[in-house]
Amino acid sequence: MSRKGRGEKAVYNVAASILSQIVATISGFVLPHLIMQNFGSAYNGITSSVTQFLSVVALLRGGIGGATRVALYKALANKNMDEVSSVIKATEKFMRKIAMVFLGFILALSCLYPFLVKDEFSWLFTASLVLIISISTFIQYFFGITYQFLLQADQRQYITTFVDIIAVLLNVVLSVVLVKAGVGIRGVKLGSSISFSILPLFLYIYCRKHYKIRDDVEPNFSAINQRWDAFFHQLATFIHSNTDVTLLNFFYSQRVISVYTTYYLVGNGIKKILLTITTGVEAAFGDIIARDERQTLIDDLNIYETIIHILSCVLFGSALILITPFVEVYTLGITDIDYTRYTFGYLVIITEMLYCLRAPYEAIVNAAGHFKQTKKYAFAEAGLNLTISLCLVRQFELIGVVVGTFFAIVFRIIVYGIYTDKYIVHRSTFIGIKRFMITSITILLIFFTCRFMKPSEMTAFSHWIMYAIPVTGISIVITASVNLLFYKEETIICGKKILNIARKFIKRRT
């Protein structure tokens, strides 16, 4: 595929992802607030906890997604549809086995988890809630996720994204209507499960028809044999996403978990918005590596890193100042627990920013299929996160778990950065070190410039918005100034590329 072809797909993927994240972010703030206002913080906590526990299915799939995409890159580049069908058939068989294992896990969780929260909720209520929330995940793994891997490998993730937007909007509308109609939390979550079942069913029908997937080919299990090496990478991601809530479930109430998830609504929302520009990046790098375009790989990685660091400074630099005031306004009138946690808010933002800054290295490693070579680092990250969080959670509550996540991500950035530069891209590691030093200086300048700007009165979102505007403006000015000073050429190139992408997209829409 030419760079032009990859660029055109990237335009569609990025545009779709930006729209998706806007919709998802709005939904992510509307629905928990609706639950807290109408049912209480404990109900918000338990629905978040159940969702986190159910995400263990991501671990059960054992890295199959990464292995499948790597196997498909070359087959798609060569337009070998028999091989594509063979890989898809192997993946689909594997995923359906995982779906059945997940079904057993759901039944076990619905029986055992109610005992963990028995002081706050009845056994029957919690068990039925687990079963209801799990419906859409089971359907996703049984029908749709295999074809999601196919669209990602073909750089057509925008198709998945647009359907997902429809499902999210339907979920918001249905949830609001059900809450206003006086339906209980289980009825609301049943509406959500029905809404999110649309995506996997659509992908199954669309991809089998569009790619002409054949059923008469033999499944190529050898093509996805790297799944066991990719498993350790999946394990690290799983622990990053679930350690905190799991430990808090054992040591604290659902109200404390509600505080945690409310702050992470902000941090995770910004992370997802920022990572929209990575949509299709791994697939693009995979295509470049499959064609052995070495200089293109280096050039594109440099551009990708520059964009990630600049946007991280603006978005997370602003959020560092704005997150706790936002949560205070967001939870006005909710008095069953104190939501004002400045130190915790700072740590959430820093941790999520670091997660974004490691994205370029993770994309390169995954695209190159170096799962076996780097699985020890993923395993070490997972162990570090769990160990530190477990040691600190009882004494430091929310801060204890986020500190464990922080040190684990720092470790992963260091080892991934060194490995990528040395074994895949073949460039000086000093380039990455310099970028992180400049980004750290930029974040500190933003923080100390804006930290005392908070107005005395902040009792409505309009007050917060008037506060956020100058903070964001200062973040943009400081970030632009620092990057033009140290990375003038790269910053100008990135600016031109972004404008060109925007022009192409607008031109195609008119």
Same domain, 287 and 404: yes
- The whole-number pLDDT of residue 240 equals 67
Total domains present in the chain: 2
Those residues with Cβ within 8 angstroms of residue 240's Cβ, 6 or more apart along the chain or in another chain:
355, 381, 382, 385, 405, 408, 409
Do 245 and 217 share a domain, yes or no? Answer: no
In angstroms, the Cα distances linking 414 to 306, 411, 501 are 17, 5, 31
Q: Let me know whether 263 and 380 are in one domain.
A: yes
Alpha helix (H) residue ranges in 55-122 = 57-60, 64-77, 81-116
Per-residue pLDDT, 96: 82
Q: What is the DSSP letter of 217?
A: S
* pLDDT tens track, the chain, 510 positions: 444 455 566 667 777 777 887 888 788 778 888 888 888 888 888 887 888 777 766 665 656 776 777 778 778 877 888 888 888 888 888 888 878 888 888 888 888 888 888 878 888 988 988 889 888 888 877 777 788 888 878 878 888 888 888 888 998 898 889 888 888 888 888 888 888 888 888 888 888 888 887 777 888 777 666 666 666 666 667 776 778 888 888 888 888 888 898 898 888 888 888 877 665 576 677 777 777 777 877 777 888 888 889 989 999 999 999 999 999 998 888 888 888 899 999 999 999 999 999 888 888 887 777 877 887 888 788 888 889 999 998 888 899 999 999 999 999 899 988 988 888 888 888 888 888 999 999 999 999 999 888 777 777 888 899 999 999 999 999 999 998 888 888 778 777 766 665 565 555 555
Q: How far apart are CA 282 and CA 188, in angstroms?
A: 36
Residues 188, 239, single domain; the answer is no
- Pair (359, 498) in one structural domain: yes
Same domain for 152 and 95, yes or no, is yes
What is the pLDDT at residue 76?
A: 81
Which residues 6+ apart lie within 8 Å of 293 measured at CB? none
Q: Note down the domain range covering 376.
A: 229-510
Report d(CA 476, CA 149) in Å as an integer: 36
**Alpha-carbon span 259 to 262, nearest angstrom:** 5
Among 190, 225, 260, identify where a domain stops.
225
So what's the pLDDT on residue 1? 47
The confidence score (pLDDT) of residue 224 equals: 66
What's the confidence (pLDDT) of residue 2?
46
pLDDT at 4: 47
Please check whether residues 250 and 189 belong to one and the same domain: no
